[in-house]
Amino acid sequence: MATNQELDFNFNEDQMRLKIRALEQILDKIHLGGGKARIEKHHENGKMTARERISALLDPNTVHFEIGALAGHDMYAEHGGCPGGGVVVMIGYVSGRQCIVVANDATVKAGAWFPITGKKNLRAQEIAMENRLPIIYLVDSAGVYLPLQEDIFADKEHFGRIFRNNAKMSAMGITQIAAVMGNCVAGGAYLPIMSDESLIVDKTGTIFLAGSYLVKAAIGEEIDNETLGGATTQTEISGVCDYKVENDTACILKIRDLFSRIGHQEKVGFDRVASIEPARAPKDAYGLLPADRSKPYDTRALLQTIIDDNSMNEYKPNFGKTLITTYARIDGWSVGIVANNRTVVKNAKGEMQFGGVIYGDSADKAARFIMLCNQKKIPLVFFHDVTGFMVGSKSEHGGIIKDGAKMVNAMANSVVPKFSVIIGNSYGAGNYAMCGKAYDPRFIIGWPTAEIAVMSGAAAAKTLLQIEVAQLKAKGETIDPAREEALLKEIKARYDAQISPYYAASRLWLDAIIDPINTRKVLSMGIEMAAHQGVLPEYKVGVIQT
C-alpha cells in the first residue's frame, strides 16, 4: 500500500503534468503563427516561415532556447491577436558559435511591429549586448502596425531604440548580420543596413523607405517594388545590401559561411568541470513541488533534481535558515545558489520561522554570500518561492528593512551574471531581493507553477475588499454579507489572472515558461552565453547600513 508521502508525490506529479500539457498546447498554437492558411501562402511564394528559417540556420542536433514565445499571449484581441509578438527569438549555435537569432514572423500581420514586438526585439538586443553575443536578423516585416503606432514609435524604449542599439553593438564589436528575406519597409529598412553585413533574397526580398504605392501618392512616380528596392537594385545599383542570394536556402547557407569565419573572443573564465548527472531524476521535481502552494516541501531535494550530484557545499547552513545559500555545479559550471527554503525551521533561539519568508538573519547571510560569489567570479542563480520579508514589530525592531536593503544592495550591484528561476511564489519585496526582472537577470524563467505579484490573490482580494467596504461605510452605505462575498470572489478572480505566469510571460516579465526538467539545460546555456562577456567590471557596493 502506498504511503501518504507517495500519494502526495503522485498527486503533485499529475498536477504538474497537467500544467505542462496546457503549456505545450498553448505553445503549439503559437508556433503556427498566423495559422495554417498563411503558412501555406508563404510556401506558395517560395518562402520559409520564420521557424523553418531558424531551424535550417541552427546547427543540427544542438540545444537551443527560445526567448519570449508567449509574448503577446491573450493580448491585442481587438486587433486579431499577435502570436509570439510576431517575431521569433532563439538562442542557439550557428557554425559552432553561440548566437541569438531574431526572425520576423510574416504570417502574423505581415510581420508588422506591435508594441510587444518592439519590446521583444529590444530584449533580444539587450541579451546580445550584455553577453556580447553575435546576432542574426532574418527580416520579413511590413513595418510598424499603424493602428498602435502611438505605443511603439516615439518613446525611449520604442522602435527607434532598435536602430540605436544596432549602432551601439557595432561599436562594441558585436557581430550583426541581417538578411532581407521579405518586406523591409520604412524605418524598419534601417535595421539591416545598420547591421555589419546584409543579404537580400532575389525576387522575395525588398527594402525601401517607401513602397510603390506611397511613392506614387507622394511624388507621382509609377514604379514596381522589385525595381524600386529589390535584390538587383539594392546590390547592383544602390549598393545598399552586400550579398544577393537566390532563395531562402542559399541565404541561410551564406549566413552560416559568414559566421564560420568569425574570430573567437576572450571569455570570462567561469569555472567548469566535467558534468555529472543530478542525484535525483529531473522529473522528480514534478512530485516534490506541492500542488497546494501553501504546503511546505524539501527545497534541498528539489535542488538535487537540477544540480550536479554531490556538488552542494552550503554556506552557513545553520544560520538564516529560510534562505539556502550554497555553492554547487550545474552541468559542470560552478554556481552560487540563493533559494527560498520552503520548510518550517527553528532559529538558534528555538523560534519557529515560516518557510518562504525572508527574515533579517537570512537577508544578512544572503548579502554576504552574494558578495563572496562576486569576489570569486561565480555566477549566481536565484530560485524564487518567496512570500516576502517578515513583518511585525519584532522584525521592525530588529531592523528587517536595513537587512533587506543590504541584500538588495549586494545583489543589485553584482557584476557576475545572475539568473532567476521562479518555481512558485515571487511576491512583493521578495521578488526584488531574489533578483526579479528589475535587477537585470541574464535570464528570468518560470515554471508553470510560478506566480508574480505584490501579494497572493487571496491576500490582495481581502485587502482591496476592506478598502472598498471602508469607502462605502464612509458614504453611509452598508454592504450585506452576500454582496461582500461576491465582491471578494470578483476581486480575487481578477487578481489571480494577473499573477499567472502566462500574464507575466505575455508581457515579457518572464523570458519563458519552461518544463522544470529543462531548467538545467537553460541555465547551462545561459552561463556559457554570459562567459562571452570577456572581462567583468570591478565589484562595488553602495553604502550599506549595518
pTM comes to: 0.94
Secondary-structure percent of the chain, ordered helix, strand, coil, rounded to 5: 45, 20, 35
Q: Which is it for the CA torsion 255, 261, 265, 270, positive or negative?
A: positive
Q: 463 falls in which pLDDT band (50, 70, 90)?
A: confident
Burial of 177 (0-12, 13-18, 19+ CB in 10 A): buried
Cα first-last separation, the chain: 55
Q: Answer whether residue 41 shows pLDDT above 70.
A: yes
Q: 19 falls in which pLDDT band (50, 70, 90)?
A: very high
H or E stretch including 41? helix 36-44
Q: 444 falls in which pLDDT band (50, 70, 90)?
A: very high
Strands (E), 81-190: 87-94, 97-104, 135-141, 176-185
Backbone angles phi, psi at 176, to 5 degrees: -130, 125
Q: Which is it for the CA torsion 464, 116, 444, 412, positive or negative?
A: negative
Report the alpha-carbon distance of residue 525 to residue 180 in Å, rounded.
28
Interval 148-204: pLDDT, tens: 999 888 898 898 999 999 999 999 999 999 999 998 887 678 888 899 999 999 999
Q: Which residues pair with 100 in a beta bridge?
A: 91, 135
Mean pLDDT along residues 368-396: 94
pLDDT of 372:
98
Residues 6+ apart with CB under 8 A from 453: 426, 427, 460, 495, 498, 499
Asked whether the beta carbons of 448 and 409 are under 8 A apart, the reply is no
Report the alpha-carbon distance of residue 184 to residue 199 in Å, rounded.
12
Report the alpha-carbon distance of residue 482 to residue 174 in Å, rounded.
62
Q: Answer whether residue 542 shows pLDDT above 90.
A: no
Q: What is the DSSP string of 277-335?
A: --SS-TTHHHHHS-SSTTS---HHHHHTTTSPTT--EESSTTSSTTEEEEEEEETTEEE
Asked whether the beta carbons of 95 and 256 are under 8 A apart, the reply is yes
- Which of 2-16, 210-224, 267-281 is least confident? 210-224
The one-letter amino acid code at 501 reads: P
pLDDT of 375:
96
Q: Cα separations (Å) of 301 from 15, 270, 507?
A: 19, 26, 32
Q: What is the DSSP string of 209-251?
A: SS-HHHHHHHH-----HHHHHSHHIIIIIS--SSEEESSHHHH
Asked whether the beta carbons of 306 and 329 are under 8 A apart, the reply is no
Backbone angles phi, psi at 339, to 5 degrees: -130, 140
State the CB neighbour count (10 A cutoff) for residue 279. 16
Mean pLDDT along residues 104-121: 95
Asked whether the beta carbons of 286 and 305 are under 8 A apart, the reply is no
Question: Mean of the per-residue pLDDT values for the chain?
Answer: 93
Report the alpha-carbon distance of residue 103 to residue 515 in Å, rounded.
24
Query: Which three three-digit cell numbers place residue 322?
Result: 529560510
Report the alpha-carbon distance of residue 241 to residue 516 in Å, rounded.
43
Asked whether the beta carbons of 312 and 328 are under 8 A apart, the reply is yes
Interval 203-258: pLDDT, tens: 999 998 888 888 888 898 889 889 998 999 999 999 999 999 999 999 999 999 99
Chain centroid, CA 21 distance in Å: 20
pLDDT of 294:
85
Q: 1 falls in which pLDDT band (50, 70, 90)?
A: low
The one-letter amino acid code at 150 reads: E
Residues in the chain: 546
Angle of helix 115-131 relative to helix 160-172, nearest 10 degrees, comes to: 10
Q: Answer whether residue 393 shows pLDDT above 90.
A: no
What would you report as the CA-atom Rg of the chain, rounded to the nearest whole angstrom?
A: 26
Greatest C-alpha distance within the chain = 85
Report the alpha-carbon distance of residue 441 to residue 522 in Å, rounded.
13
Q: 322 falls in which pLDDT band (50, 70, 90)?
A: very high
Asked whether the beta carbons of 526 and 443 are under 8 A apart, the reply is yes
Report H helices in 58-205.
115-131, 160-172, 190-194
Report the alpha-carbon distance of residue 103 to residue 450 in Å, rounded.
28
Closest CA to 88 of 49, 145, 44, 43: 49
Mean pLDDT along residues 386-402: 86
